Amino acid sequence: MSIDRAAVIAGSIRLASGVQFLVDPLRANRLWGDPDQPSPTARLLLRSMGYRDALIGGLLLAAGLRGKNTRGWFLASAGADASDLLGGMSVRDELKRSHLIGLGGAVLGIGVGLWGAARPTTQADQVVASRDQ
């Protein structure tokens, strides 16, 4: 069994970010550039983002550690960041400069996710594909 190091790294980062938003959403929100106290609705959305990121990151990490095909989880990760970017762009005129810079993280995440989904197949992927035929 071959470990997918890229999936382990990307999954660990997303999992850690998600857990941070679950454990202390106010602190996580400040780290992303918002010094203000978020409304109850915003806190709900921060936790929802935490659940999403912890789930995707944990499953990407697990697949990477098991040497399983990680393309779908990389694509899910890119999709999550794309939704964050689209949401951020819809309110870009109301965001502070620090928030706009934070959207760059979503762009980076989309790039990593698409790269992970499109990279050449590994030997483990080829073995699974040959069994399916």
At 78, the amino acid letter reads A
Each residue's pLDDT tens digit, 65-84: 999 999 999 999 999 999 99
Euclidean distance between CA atoms 2 and 123, whole angstroms: 8
Query: Across the chain, what does the average pLDDT equal?
Result: 88
Each residue's pLDDT tens digit, 11-48: 999 999 999 999 998 888 887 777 778 888 988 999 99
Euclidean distance between CA atoms 12 and 56, whole angstroms: 10
Packing angle, helices 5-23 and 40-66, rounded to 10: 150
Each residue's pLDDT tens digit, 97-120: 777 777 888 999 999 999 999 998
- 123 confidence band (pLDDT: 50, 70, 90): low
